[in-house]
Amino acid sequence: MSTPQVLILQHVPWERPGRILSTLEDLGLDTVIMNIADTKKPDLPNFGDLAGVVIMGGPMGALDYDKYPGLKAEGKLAKAAVAVGKPVLGVCLGHQIIAAALGGQLRKGDAPEIGFGPIKRVDRHDFFSMWDKQLNVLHWHNDVVGLPEGAQLLARSSATKVQAFRLGSALGMQFHLEVCGSLLDEWLDEPSMVKDLKA
């Protein structure tokens, strides 16, 4: 049997795992990074060998299966991982893919939420206990999700009711904790990222 590894699904080159990858490496976990968005039947690592799955962000919609058929496979993988208790982390688009796969509704937000702004930690849970009740995070999204049935709401913002949720072994975060200063600089140099920014 091969060494367990964490599968990181990336959708575009600039939305990399950043601090998530650094943390996994610090923990001594092997990782494999793949982009399967364009592939209808992707050749994924053996499911039994996966220690967990991380699904990163991207500019597409979580249900854009016609243009990005691999997103359907990502949703199925997330659902299968949750069914057997494998850890699954979703960031932004990944959060939306996981939520949709677990029955949450996806819709366009009232307006793009881009830039640094506060989220409020919802009480009655121990997740994010290292945070203050309110925390400034980096937002960069248009779509939002409804809470899947049975999921626990962890954080919200004034514009987005579901900023983070937990369901079984899945954790979804609409915001971008993975971004460090150098990665943010790359985003600001990427034309597709800054097209929605106001001058």
In angstroms, the CA 30 to CA 24 distance is: 8
First to last CA, the chain: 54
Task: Please report the pLDDT score of residue 125 as a whole number.
Answer: 66
Query: In angstroms, rounded to a whole number, what is the distance separating the alpha carbons of residues 178 and 175?
Result: 9
pLDDT tens digits for range 8-21: 999 999 999 999 99
| Phi, psi dihedral angles at 20 (to 5 degrees) | -65, -45
Using alpha carbons only, how large is the chain's radius of gyration in Å? 16
Q: Residue range 104-117: average pLDDT?
A: 87
Could you tell me which CATH number the domain at 5-194 has? 3.40.50.880
The tens digit of pLDDT for each residue in 134-193 reads 888 888 888 899 999 999 999 999 889 999 999 999 999 999 988 887 887 787 788 778
| Average pLDDT score over residue span 30-41 | 95
Residue identified by tokens 């509704």 is 105
Write down the mean pLDDT value for the chain: 89
> Alpha carbon of 164 to those of 40, 73, 169, 195: distances in Å?
29, 22, 13, 26
At residue 157, what is the residue type?
S
The β-bridge relationship of strands 88-91 and 50-55 is: parallel
Task: Give the pairing of strands 106-121 and 152-156.
Answer: antiparallel
Cα–Cα distance between 7 and 10 in angstroms, integer?
Answer: 10
pLDDT value at residue 199: 47
pTM as predicted: 0.91
Q: Which of 82, 61, 83 is nearest to 72 (CA)?
A: 61
pLDDT for the residue 55: 98
Binning pLDDT at 50, 70 and 90, where does residue 67 land? Answer: very high
